[in-house]
Amino acid sequence: MIDTPVEPLGEALAELASTLRRSVVEVRTRGAGAGSGIIWSANGLIVTNAHVARTEHATVVLWDGRTFDGVVTAHDSRRDLATIAIDPGSTALTTAAIGHPTDLRTGDLVVALGHPWGITGAIALGIVHVVETRRGAPRWIRADIRLAPGNSGGPLADARGRVVGVNTLIAGGLGVAVPTTTVSRFLDDEARRARSGYRAA
Amino acid sequence: MAGPSTTTPSTGGVLESLSNDLAGAVDRAGQSVVAIHARRRIPASGIHWRPGIIVAAHHTIQREEDITVSLADGTTAAATLAGRDPTTDLAVLKVDDAKVPVASLGDGAGIRVGALVLALGRPGSAVTASLGVISTVGGEWRTWHGGSIDRFVRLDISIYDGFSGGPLVDAAGRVLGVNTSGLSRGAALAIPVSTVNRVVDQLVKSGRVARGYLGLGMQTVRLPAPLVERLSLPNDVGLMVVSAEPGGPGDTAGILIGDVLIALADRPVADPTEVLSLLGGDQIGKTLATRIIRAGESKTVSITIGERPREPRAARRGR
């Protein structure tokens, strides 16, 4: 039986949001609207959706308003993932804590953070509707949560604030996120490609 | 700000404990949620209600033969349609050898405005869940097809594929009712456990829920004041007969189109739903003294209540 008091629930959610938003950026590209992104590493690697980062350059705005010129360094339209590199210089970046999509259960609380309709740093609360798997591995996280354009590229996080997915699309009213396990594979593939000297042109 | 940092995940907090509660409730209640393959495209949801008895939403069962159900343990079983009741949007299927648990049914105390609830479904192999609250609770009500439902339970919850026929579950995983979007223009409603039990009993016993029937279409009309006064009528409205099923109970009793029904068994009627409430299954075969107005004169006609014939499948709406 649930005996969770409501007030601490609100406080915990507010704390989770204020922590998580430090690792969430706004991604602006010429022509397209704004999307969201996740600070993946302290050296300035940002993960977002491929459909958010369609151009070679993007402007990246941190939670506190600091703005950087970013270069789109990898773009995978099949997985709908992209990376943007920024040079943080002496600026300290807060990276996102990454969770385990394989541990998600239907009914688990999830939080989305992003810039729906251009509203900065908006939070949404929902639950896991179903984790769609392929050969035992998570393929899509479908969430009963209210998302909007501008959430794309932003994090879907678990009840502890760990990022488990990249919010990518809305299908049949459900928020659909690419699991972070897929992001890791994408980053590994890109690293391997960089080592082999391969460059798409 | 000092050096680079990673957002610190909180542990053991209230959010995590709520998350665990909700996922636990889904896990428990989800064991008895089944997928029903009785329509094209996406399977519908159903609930293993009693051993071998599956409850479903009538409007999602679009064929009566060649039905299979997928159970939580990954097995598939053949199912036969035991009966359906379009008036409450419920259907009952029978399966042999269902090795999954039956639903843990709540006693109705959990149905309160503001209660945190989950709607579960299985529109495929995996169980799905949505979170919401009970937004309205009312008393007994009658559906537009004439079915009687013990309590009006409206939900503030998103409707996705698999919603109808799935259970409404409280945070402990107890089933509070059967969800449907087919009874109220697509709004999310739940049929409480007590009503489902009653309909299941009848469908298992006789394959249908018997309803009394007059075979008359009626519409409320206002009566002129002089007429009300002259005939000392109980109401200034009555029910004008606008259609009569040929050979139906009303037609057989001599009711004509244009007659205005004033009272049935001494009970004044001002709305067609009041007539429906006098036509429960136990009234079939009984005779109703019916007061009518024909050509400006009061008259009493005896109508023998018939049984409503099986109707074509109700309009299919909702998910």
How many other C-beta atoms can be found within 10 angstroms of the C-beta atom of residue B63? 11
CA distance B159 to chain A (A): 9
Q: Does A139 touch chain B (CB under 8 A)?
A: no
- The CATH number for B15-206, chosen from 1.10.287.110, 2.30.42.10, 2.40.10.120, 3.30.70.1560, is 2.40.10.120
What ranges do the domains of chain A cover? 7-85, 101-185
**B23-47 pLDDT tens trace:** 999 999 999 999 999 998 899 999 9
- The CATH number for B212-307, chosen from 3.30.70.20, 2.30.42.10, 1.20.58.1000, 3.40.50.1820, is 2.30.42.10
CA distance B109 to chain A (A): 14
Name the nearest CA neighbour of B233 among B258, B274, B261. B261
Share of chain B above pLDDT 70, in %: 94
How many other C-beta atoms can be found within 10 angstroms of the C-beta atom of residue A8? 12
Predicted pLDDT of residue B2: 46
> Which residues of chain B lie closer than 8 angstroms to A93, CB-CB?
4
Nearest residue on chain B to A90, alpha-carbon basis:
B3
Q: How confident is the model at residue B10 (pLDDT cuts 50, 70, 90)?
A: low
**A80-103 pLDDT tens trace:** 999 999 999 888 899 999 999 999
Q: What is the DSSP string of chain B?
A: --S-EEPPPP-S-HHHHHHHHHHHHHHHHHTTEEEEE-SSSSPEEEEEEETTEEEEEGGG---SSSEEEE-TTS-EEEEEEEEEETTTTEEEEEES---SPPP-B--STT--TT-EEEEEE-SSSS-EEEEEEEEEEES-EE-TTS-EESSEEEEE----TT-TTSEEE-TTS-EEEEEESTTTTT--EEEEHHHHHHHHHHHHHHSS---EE--EEEEEEEPPHHHHHHTT-S-SEEEEEEEE-TTSHHHHTT--TT-EEEEETTEE--SHHHHHTT--GGGTT-EEEEEEEETTEEEEEEEE-EEPPPPPPPP----
Q: What residues of A act catalytically?
A: 51, 80, 152
> Which residues of chain A lie closer than 8 angstroms to B11, CB-CB?
160
Contacts 24+ apart (CB under 8 A), A142-146: A142/A171, A142/A174, A142/A175, A142/A176, A142/B128, A143/A110, A143/A112, A143/A174, A143/A175, A143/A176, A143/A177, A144/A174, A144/A175, A144/B129, A144/B130, A144/B131, A144/B158, A144/B160, A145/A110, A145/A112, A145/A174, A145/A175, A146/A175
How many other C-beta atoms can be found within 10 angstroms of the C-beta atom of residue B226? 9
**A88-142 pLDDT tens trace:** 988 889 999 999 999 999 999 999 999 888 788 899 999 999 999 999 899 999 9
Query: Residues 45-104, chain A: which have Cβ within 8 Å of B?
Result: 92-97, 99
Q: Do domains A7-85 and A101-185 have the same CATH topology?
A: yes
Q: How confident is the model at residue A195 (pLDDT cuts 50, 70, 90)?
A: confident
The stretch A59-81 carries a mean pLDDT of 95
What ranges do the domains of chain B cover? 15-206, 212-307
> Which residues of chain A lie closer than 8 angstroms to B7, CB-CB?
19-20, 22-23, 94-97, 161
pLDDT of B16 over the 80 cut: yes
CA distance B155 to chain A (A): 15
pLDDT of B8 over the 90 cut: no
Model-level ipTM above the cut of 0.85: yes
Q: Does A4 touch chain B (CB under 8 A)?
A: yes
**Cα–Cα distances in angstroms (integers) from residue A4 to residues B15, B114, B132, in the given order:** 9, 15, 16
Predicted pLDDT of residue A41: 95
Q: Does A174 touch chain B (CB under 8 A)?
A: yes
Share of chain B above pLDDT 90, in %: 74
C-alpha dihedral over B252, B254, B259, B265, to 10 degrees?
Answer: -80
- The CATH number for A7-85, chosen from 1.10.10.10, 2.40.10.10, 1.20.1070.10, 3.40.50.12280, is 2.40.10.10
Q: Which CATH class is domain A101-185?
A: mainly beta
CA distance B134 to chain A (A): 16
> Which residues of chain B lie closer than 8 angstroms to A162, CB-CB?
9
